[in-house]
Structure 1
Amino acid sequence: MMKNSLRASLALTALCAGAAFAGQAPGPASDADIPISHRDRVYAAEQFSNTLSVTDPVDNRLLGVIRLGDPSPGNFSPLYKGQVLVHGLGFSPDHRTLAVVSIGSNSVTFIDTQSNTVKHTTYVGRSPHEAFFTPDGKEVWVTVRGENYVSVIDAATFEEKTRIVTAAGPGMQIFSPDGKYGYVCSSFNPETAVVEVATHQIVAKVRQDSPFCPNIAATPDGKQVWFTLKDVGRTMVFNARPPFNVISSFETGPITNHVNFAKTAAGTFAYVTVGGLNLVKVFRTDDFSQVATIPVGKLPHGVWPSGDGSRIYVGLENDDALAVIDTARNTVVGQVPIGQAPQAIAYVPNAVPSGEGRQGLQALGVAGQVATLALSEPGATGSAPRTSVSMFDQGLLQVVQASVTGLVPKQPYVLALAEAKDGAGVLQPLANFMTNPAGAAIVNAVGPIRQIVQSDGVSPRRYLVIAPVVDGGPGKPVQTQIVGNE
């Protein structure tokens, strides 16, 4: 009996030693890892199809979409009741409720993960950006980027209970794993606010190297906070505890979008999406050294780890897809077609505790249709394109999105249609824009552009170009459409 007990004890010890207790963001490192299963879901908030896609991570299969609003031009109606510009995404600590932010309709939609049904919609101030539950699950904080506050919503009643006033343009918030602090970066001002969750009081401010932070994340060990600076292409790290000092700041590349972490047997690694380079860059969190550069597809945006850190999921904004990264090898091992222009994504372990969890889901339909092309300097051959363009089909119209790089910083330009492929002739402006300090920009327009630039046999063919603004009008094009890459 003693020998059997000893064997059982040794076996249990070996089992515990081999078990992974790493904990993945946004939870604490003390949480047990959750192996990937059919109960898990990967969600993506899709800005132009106004959908939330639902993916099974075991076989990387799109199960369907939750349609929150209509595509253009239906969403232009003054009587429109759905959601517009579906963008931000968070989830409750019990993994049963999603909080989906729609920028254009100023809303937070709460969705039940088991039934895929809307539980409630709360309307907040102008142009909210991201929402997340506090670690105790009692509140939902929503950054109202078009104004100057965080809207604090009671998670039980879905009603706003208070506001935390910040500098104008709060971009996103995330919490320390222990729930003591909330970290609110800014998209309009060069400061991040540290808020004591219990009192809703700002207790510290952290400088940002630039005003435009779109995304922020805290390491599972509760020691660091990382945030991205989209306008200057940098990533910063500060101490998650007092005195909240800046630890590091380094260049990551044009249109640096989101950051998140995977905690593995080899350590904790930060995965940063760099939209202008179509890459994910991987950094150690102990010495900030870069350990991998992963080509993933066009305009990577949102990023989130699986419940065991073995996979990282990346939303490809200009490819309408999820890229799946194996964190052991830091290579892409899968791609899932999803809705149009995915923004924030979230991997939710055990989102569906029973059954298939497919009720309420719809087919992707027209939201899965996209055409792409690229631009580069006139006459350039053999080099990587400077600008990628996606045309998201909305029926008769397309939403055109250009991920622009390689221009002069802080200068006015215009995306236009030219009569000739070399940019000669009269230019017809589509959208004026200003480049950021990294010489990059995201440019949007709406119209029947695909029929024009790819020739439908009816309209005269035109070619997309980018030109500087000179004396109030388009100058000589500096980037022209690469014909044949369509």
Structure 2
Amino acid sequence: MKSNFKLGILNGAVCLGFSAVAFAGQVPGADSMPDTPISHHDRVYAAEQFSNTVSVTDPVDNRLLGVIRLGDPSPANFSPLYRGQVLVHGMGFSPDHRTIAVVSIGSNSVSFIDTATNAVKHTTYVGRSPHEAFFTPDGKEVWVTVRGENYVAVLDAETYQEKARIVTPAGPGMQIFSPDGKYGYVCSSFNPEVDVVSVADHKIVAKVKQDSPFCPNIAATPDGKQVWFTLKDVGRTQVFEATPPFKLLKTIDTGPITNHVNIVKNANGMFAYVTVGGLNEVKVFKASDFTQVTTIPVGNLPHGIWPSGDGARVYVGLENGDALAAIDTVTNKVIAQIPIGQAPQAVAYVPNAVPHGDGTQNLQPLGLAGNTTHLRLATVGNQASPSAQAPTTVALFDQGLLQVLQASVTGLNAKQPYVLGLSEHPDGSGAIEGLANFVTNPAGSAIVNALGQIRQVVSVNDSQATSGRRYLVIAPQVGGKPGNVVQVQGL
């Protein structure tokens, strides 16, 4: 037990005193860093893919303050003269907590945003389809994984200009750093390996085998001992030593559409929280022995996750729920759901992001980004039962006259071709009009997207629904045509 002197700000009041604790330091920092009590100066950010916004939330009262609009929804962003960002997705923040770096996949950009004013300070354009960006612990560089190519772009954190490239196998997915700043860990979305890079000279010093090619997310523990990464296509999470020889320690079956992982330290110890989209759950594991502690139901398609500065909460972006779920890490219960923008991806909790003032400059109301229709698809024969397990959830994100459809599909055969389409009949019988063809991953899952006036024909409660009501269905492709329907829209 050690005694830490703390200066905290709670609900606008200054609290000065000593606290006896057995823990300190939250990701991405080290154990030696003090915990930061939750205050009105903190912010929770979420990158929202289909509204092209960044939502800004006050964690004290779990209230959305507004959104930073980086671009327009479809079809406005189809114009050849469009200048905004597209597919706002990844996120990191500087060690001084004054800047967030937001990656937009479709426009190949990193937007650097001032946390105090919510103003974009600079936009840097990099290679094809970047995925995530994060500052080195010394704050001097920003590493951007350029997933559509074969390198990590290294930006100067003062000029925001690219200064070097770290060549990797194709498809680097995300990078995070050891708390001491010695190593960068770069997992891959296209090749089955994690590259360990020396931050000092940008050289690859080790490789760790991934069980599959598709890693979307990686996290390092504050004690500098472990690195956790997720494998979305096979539904697993793996752990390896953070220092040489970087030995693989554990492989855990976590479930279909395993998304992000992050680390929490609290009075009970150190834990890994893993978002599992196909099950709509967050699974919690002890870092000490990798045993599962609990499972937390959170809502449709949990994606990004990040702890508060004191480890008292974790925040989860619900990709098909247009919400941010706040979890108390002692009780492991959801204590709030905050409406935010469309299809949140990466989430970042930034302690003391706004040292002075209310930090609401340049924020806009949620507006159209808050309009979403939620549906479910059940296995054939179970669609009429509200209690039946719904393996597939669907969100229709309003873009004006159009909607972006996103289906989180599970419960199908692995590595097989299917079609998501429309049927004239509630049981899925008759001809099927295809919306999107897809192939399931090794876990029998997929994320499927389509664009069109879909809500108007499938939503029974929609005032704009036409007389030609249709029903969403999923069927295997047999000889290039839809076979017998296996999932159909619930009634």
**Shorter-chain TM-score tier:** over 0.9
The answer to whether the aligner puts 1:223 opposite 2:225 as a matched pair is yes
- Displacement, 1:459? 4.7
Given that 1:213 and 1:227 are in contact with CA atoms closer than 8 Å, whether structure 2 keeps it comes out as yes
1:444 and 1:158 map into 2 onto residues whose CA distance is 33
Deviation per residue, 1:413-450 (Å, 9 max, x gap):
01000111111111111011110000000000010100
Render the CA deviation track for 1:305-342: whole Å, top value 9, x for unaligned.
00000000000001100000000100001110000000
Query: Structure 2: how far apart are the matches of 1:471 and 1:215?
Result: 36
Quote the Cα distance in structure 2 between the aligned partners of 1:471 and 1:349: 55
Secondary structure in 2 matching 1:81: coil
Q: Is the alpha carbon distance of 1:159 and 1:458 closer, same or farther for their aligned partners in structure 2, counting shifts above 3 Å? A: same
Kept in 2: contact 1:45–1:88 (CA 8 A):
yes
Give the 3 Å change call, closer, same or farther, for CA 11–119 of structure 1 in structure 2.
closer
Equivalent-residue separation in structure 2 for 1:292 and 1:24 (angstroms): 21
Alignment-mate amino acid for residue 418 of structure 2: Y
The runs of at least 4 aligned residues of structure 1 exceeding 6 Å deviation read 10-13
Q: How does 1:160-309 map to 2 (within 5 A)?
A: 160-309=162-311
Shift of 1:378: 1.0
1:6 equivalent in structure 2:
none
3-state DSSP of counterpart to 1:18: strand
Does residue 391 in structure 1 map to residue 396 in structure 2? Answer: yes
Alignment partner for residue 124 of structure 2, among 122, 125, 131?
122
Q: Which residue of 1 aligns with 2:416?
A: 411
* Partner residue, 2:469: 461
Amino acid at match of 2:432: L
Whole-angstrom CA distance in 1 between matches of 2:18 and 2:335: 30
Q: CA shift at 1:383, angstroms?
A: 2.3
- Equivalent residues in 2 for 1:142-153 (5 A)? 142-153=144-155
The range that moved more, 365-374 or 446-455, is: 446-455
1:437 paired residue number: 442
The SS at the match of 2:448 is strand
Q: Which amino acid aligns with 1:462?
A: R
- Amino acid across the alignment from 2:371: Q
Q: Which runs of 5+ in 2 are unaligned?
A: 7-16
CA distance in structure 2 between the partners assigned to 1:22 and 1:85 by the alignment: 36
**Please, which of 36, 41, 44 is the counterpart of residue 42 of structure 1?**
44
Deviations 1:138-172 (A, max 9, x none): 00000000000000000111100010000100000
For residues 395 and 297 of structure 2, the distance between their equivalents in structure 1, rounded to whole angstroms, comes to 18
User: In 2, are the aligned partners of 1:415 and 1:465 still within 8 Å (CA)?
Assistant: yes
The alignment yields a C-alpha RMSD, in angstroms, of 1.4
Q: 2:362 aligned to 360, 363, 367, which one?
A: 360
SS of 2:102's equivalent? Answer: strand
Can you list the C-alpha shifts for 1:284-317, whole angstroms capped at 9, x where unaligned? 0000000010000000000000000000000000
Q: Distance in 2 between matches of 1:182 and 1:459?
A: 56
Would you say the 8 A contact 1:451–1:459 is kept in 2? no
Cα distance between partner residues in 2 of 1:20 and 1:448: 55
**Amino acid corresponding to residue 228 of structure 2 in structure 1:** W
> What's the secondary structure of 1:286's corresponding residue?
coil
TM-superposed deviation, 1:89? 0.3
Describe the SS at the equivalent of 2:205.
strand
Structure 1 residue identity aligned to 2:480: G
Q: Secondary structure at the match of 2:377?
A: strand
From 83, 86, 92, the equivalent of 2:85 is 83
Query: Which residue, out of 474, 477, 481, partners 2:482?
Result: 474
* Aligned counterpart for 2:115 among listed residues 109, 113, 116: 113
Q: How far apart, CA to CA, are the structure 2 residues paired with 1:425 and 1:33?
A: 60
Native 8 Å contact 1:376 1:386 kept in 2: yes
Larger displacement relative to structure 2 (474-483 or 273-282):
474-483
Cα 1:352/1:422, change in 2 over 3 Å: same
Q: Against the structure 1 CA distance between its residues 470 and 156, is the aligned structure 2 distance closer, same or farther, given a 3 Å change threshold?
A: same
Change in 2 beyond 3 A, CA 1:12/1:261: closer
Separation (CA, whole Å) in 1 of partners of 2:391 and 2:101:
35
Gaps of 5+ in 1: 1-9
Paired with 1:226 and 1:19, the residues of 2 have a C-alpha distance of 25
Cα distance in 2 for partners of 1:425, 1:474 equals 11
TM-score (norm 2): 0.95
Determine helix, strand or coil for the equivalent of 1:293: strand
Q: What is the SS of the residue equivalent to 1:437?
A: coil
Task: Verify the 8 A CA contact 1:21 1:30 in the aligned structure 2.
Answer: no
Equivalent residue for 1:22, pick from 10, 21, 24: 24
For 2:141 and 2:169, how far apart are their aligned partners in 1?
A: 21
Count matched residues: 473
1:448 to 453, 474, 491: 453
- CA shift at 1:250, angstroms? 1.1
TM-score when scaled to structure 1? Answer: 0.96
SS at match of 1:120: strand
